[in-house]
């Protein structure tokens, strides 16, 4: 990770203050003075601030139940950040693993472990995601079959990966996909002549949403490790 970030997760310093310490020549890595804030370091190296060895705090892994009209950003914009519901220090260091649109609700994972999150969202992981989808009108059986086998988006030659589809009602389905193209769920139903009017994520990998809207909890060690198995 970047040297300035490592300082932040090892101290109470903000990113700006960590940057100033590096530029001022107050940081060494394995005994060598480093003034490049972009320097990439590993946590096992001997990193010192004014001679004091830095011990990074453990990475954090969270599950958040995202409400409607919040955004998966660290800062409030047109809508408030989903992290306004997270009462942790330095939550600005966290990032969302697989964002949801402002009008989409449900399960969001967040962490400050960049390697862990990258392994989940990279296309080769084929990490399972389950969505509860509300539709503008009933879905014909032929359209459902197309979604299960894969649809082609405008301007793209490769179809989506096969999806699992389960009817709850004629206008509500559970959709399971193993990829994460831009606005994928909405585009899939648009490709078969329908429109998504409500979208809620219930599951990522083996982790299911089990808390109320606006709440968060830490992932268990087994839940964190379950994603490592997915990417092996």
What is the spatial distance between Cα 1 and Cα 112, in angstroms, rounded to a whole number?
10
Q: Which domain holds residue 220?
A: 61-123+210-231
Give the bridge partners for 64, in sequence order. 108, 216
Same domain for 149 and 117, yes or no, is no
Same domain for 119 and 221, yes or no, is yes
Residues whose CB is less than 8 angstroms from the CB of residue 211 and which lie 6 or more positions away in sequence, other chains included: 63, 65, 217
Confidence band for 92, pLDDT divided at 50, 70 and 90:
confident
Domain total of the chain = 3
Instruction: Tell the residue number behind the tokens 């079959």, with chain if given.
Output: 145
Assigned token pair, 158: 């490769």
Least confident range of 35-39, 87-91, 92-96, 207-211:
87-91
CATH number at residue 186: 3.30.70.1560
Could you list the active site residues?
101
Task: Write the pLDDT tens digit of every residue in 196-225.
Answer: 999 999 999 999 999 999 999 999 999 999
Whole-prediction pTM = 0.84
CATH number at residue 84: 3.30.70.580
Residue 113 DSSP class? -
DSSP-assigned states of every residue in 154-181: TT--SPPPP-EEEEEETTEEEEEES---
What is the spatial distance between Cα 50 and Cα 69, in angstroms, rounded to a whole number?
44
């Amino acid at each position: 990770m970047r040297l300035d970030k490592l300082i932040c997760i090892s101290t109470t310093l903000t990113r700006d203050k960590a940057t100033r310490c590096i530029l001022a020549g107050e940081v060494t890595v394995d005994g060598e003075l480093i003034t490049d804030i972009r320097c990439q370091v590993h946590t096992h190296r001997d990193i010192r601030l004014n001679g004091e060895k830095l011990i990074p705090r453990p990475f954090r892994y969270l599950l958040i139940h995202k409400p409607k009209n919040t955004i998966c950003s660290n800062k409030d914009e047109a809508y408030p950040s989903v992290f306004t519901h997270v009462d942790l220090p330095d939550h600005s260091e966290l990032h969302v693993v697989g964002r949801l649109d402002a009008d989409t609700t449900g399960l969001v994972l967040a962490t400050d472990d960049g390697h862990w999150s990258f392994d989940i969202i990279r296309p080769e992981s084929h990490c399972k995601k389950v969505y509860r989808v509300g539709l503008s009108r009933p879905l014909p059986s032929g359209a459902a079959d197309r979604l299960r086998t894969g649809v082609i988006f405008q301007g793209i030659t490769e179809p989506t990966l096969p999806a699992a589809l389960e009817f709850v009602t004629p206008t509500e389905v559970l959709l399971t996909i193993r990829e994460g193209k831009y606005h994928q769920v909405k585009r899939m139903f648009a490709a078969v002549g329908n429109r998504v009017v409500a979208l809620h994520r219930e599951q990522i990998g083996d982790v299911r949403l089990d808390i109320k809207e606006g709440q968060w909890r830490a992932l268990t060690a087994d839940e964190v490790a379950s994603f490592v198995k997915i990417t092996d």
